[in-house]
Amino acid sequence: MHLSVYNAWAAAIVGAALQLRQAGPLPGHLRATAWTAARTGLFHDEEAGLACLRTKDGLNVLISTHGQPPQSYGRDEAEFRYAGGMVFHLRAGGSPPLLPPALRTTRDALLAQPPLAGWTPVIVANGIYYVLDEFESCVLTSTEHGLKLSLAGQPCALFRQTPSNFPGKVLHKLDWRMLGGRLGRNTVLRRARLTSVQAKIQLELRLDRPDSMTLSQKLEIHSRNRRILHLNPESSITLDDTASMGTSSACPHGTVQTAFPSSIPNCLALSLGPRDIEATTPYTSNTCIQLSFDATRASPFPPS
């Protein structure tokens, strides 16, 4: 979706809100609503799956918690921008943004460079690609030095599957030619799940000092009855000089890294090589990066 469309939607929502506000008193369920931009603390919109952490020192962290369905679900595009379990904006005072958001990329680019998936785990089973981007269980808690996000769920199909039988192919043609792809787009709400796999993610942000923090992700995967492949173990996106690989329960196959397309300069995506996960064998992968910042640095970006 183009930026102009987002702007139009935002203008329409603000305009409708102003119209309703002038037309009469606020509904009862909205009277406790307050603008939080100037308030410090941890705020979580559980319906949208979006959270914000602000501190009195000027730290501003935006987090996707349980995730949302991807837009334009297709066969040749991998969408990671709506995935849960990741920080998509992090900034301290006047410093530039410290983490780039996830991206949408092509299937070919992802398979050639798995680190482009960023913080989102990609699983392969029987040649089908799955992704841990939506979660049934989501618990966000504030800690003494930051926050902790605990998630649990099953991998969902990353790409839309091509119909394999004749009726499915006919329906696909009719949908494309007569319905404008409406049926195909709706499949994102019923993506196939890898039900034999249970996964947990624990994301933790810890403020070590006024000028540094640690962001860590612990991934646990249990496959009940099939061997699967973790395409991007210990994957992360960070600035070129801040990456620090974690440790894992399996031996590394080597580190893969690639430049990460972003408006923030010098971004890097990296992960270890693909790892097999045997059935009924517990699997754990840990990623940790250190982030340092200077809140007094001038930034070319507008305030958060």
The pair of three-digit structure tokens given for residue 35, joined into one six-digit string: 């603008």
Across the chain, which has 304 residues, the per-10-residue mean pLDDT values are: 70 86 76 70 92 89 94 88 94 83 95 95 96 97 93 95 69 65 72 95 89 92 93 89 40 74 89 94 92 55 48
Reported as a single tens digit per residue, the pLDDT across 57-114 is: 888 999 999 999 998 788 899 999 999 999 999 988 777 888 899 999 999 999 999 9
Q: Please report whether residue 9 resides in a domain.
A: no
Tokens of 96: 């530039």
200 bridge partner residues: 152, 220
What kind and span of H or E run contains 108? helix 107-112
Residue 213 CA: distances (Å) to CA of 58, 146, 169: 14, 9, 51
**16 found inside a domain:** no
HEC readout, 4-41: HHHHHHHHHHHHHHHHHHHHCCCCHHHCCCCCCCCCCE
What is the tally of structural domains in the chain?
1
Tokens of 94: 């006047």
Q: Where does residue 90 rank: exposed (0-12), middle (13-18), buried (19+ CB within 10 A)? A: buried
Pairing of strands 275-277, 255-259: unpaired
Max Cα–Cα distance, the chain, nearest Å:
64
CA distance 6 to 163: 32
Contact, 132 vs 121, CB < 8 A? Answer: yes
Question: What global pTM score does this model have?
Answer: 0.82
Residue 17: inside a domain: no
- Beta-ladder partners of 221: 199, 283
Is 86 among the domain residues?
Answer: yes
User: 61 lies in which domain range?
Assistant: 35-292
The answer to the question of residue 12 being in a domain is no
In a domain, 21, yes or no: no
Q: From the CB of residue 123, how many other CB atoms can be counted at a distance below 10 Å?
A: 24
* Average pLDDT value over all residues in the chain: 84
- Count of other CB atoms within 10 angstroms of residue 8: 11
Look up the CATH number of the domain holding residue 283.
2.70.98
Predicted pLDDT of residue 19: 86
User: Would you say residue 303 lies in a domain?
Assistant: no
Does residue 147 fall inside a structural domain? yes
Query: Which pLDDT does position 175 carry in this prediction?
Result: 66
Look up residue 99 and give its amino acid: L
What integer pLDDT is reported at residue 214 of this predicted model? Answer: 92
Give the Cα separation of 57 and 55 in Å (integer): 5
Count of Cβ atoms closer than 10 Å to residue 235 Cβ: 25
- What is the share, in percent, of the chain residues with pLDDT greater than 70? 81
Question: Do 75 and 164 form a contact (C-beta atoms < 8 A)?
Answer: no
